[in-house]
């Protein structure tokens, strides 16, 4: 059973930065896609960014240029560097994993494994 654990969330002022981490156990990067989703209160869960095992990255328009996804294969960890944070980035952020073919898909149903979520709050 794959276990994903997010860390690094918290509260920050508008314009600030945070870095989220997603570490995996019982999982290997090869052949996989690791993605970040988020869910704000009263809204549906939405895709944010993804990284394929061999390097290609994906972003939704609302975060492109502000967020950067990366991975440390040796540590089996994916990072999401979030800069220039806005109030609308406030949400519960989830890490998800599935086969590499899911990369670029922002459909929640396409991902089998999920972390427990971590809160990011951006205030002015």
Residue 73 has what pLDDT? 87
Q: Is the distance from CB of 99 to CB of 112 less than 8 angstroms?
A: no
Q: What are phi and psi of 116, to 5 degrees?
A: -85, -15
Environment class of 57 (CB within 10 Å of its CB; exposed 0-12, middle 13-18, buried 19+): middle
For each of the chain's 124 residues, which pLDDT tens digit applies?
Answer: 889 999 999 999 999 999 999 999 876 667 899 999 999 999 999 999 999 999 999 999 999 999 999 999 889 999 999 999 999 999 999 999 999 999 988 999 999 999 999 999 999 8
């Amino acid at each position: 059973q794959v276990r994903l654990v997010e860390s690094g969330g918290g509260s920050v002022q508008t314009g600030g930065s945070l870095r989220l981490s997603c570490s995996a156990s019982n999982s290997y990067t090869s052949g996989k896609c690791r993605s970040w989703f988020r869910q704000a209160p009263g809204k549906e869960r939405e895709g944010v960014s993804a990284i394929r095992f061999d390097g290609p990255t994906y972003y939704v328009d609302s975060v492109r240029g502000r967020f950067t996804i990366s991975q440390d294969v040796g540590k089996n960890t994916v990072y999401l560097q979030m800069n220039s944070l806005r109030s609308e980035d406030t949400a519960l952020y989830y890490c998800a994993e599935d086969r590499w073919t899911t990369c670029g898909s922002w459909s929640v149903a396409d991902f089998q494994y999920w972390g427990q979520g971590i809160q990011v709050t951006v205030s002015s």
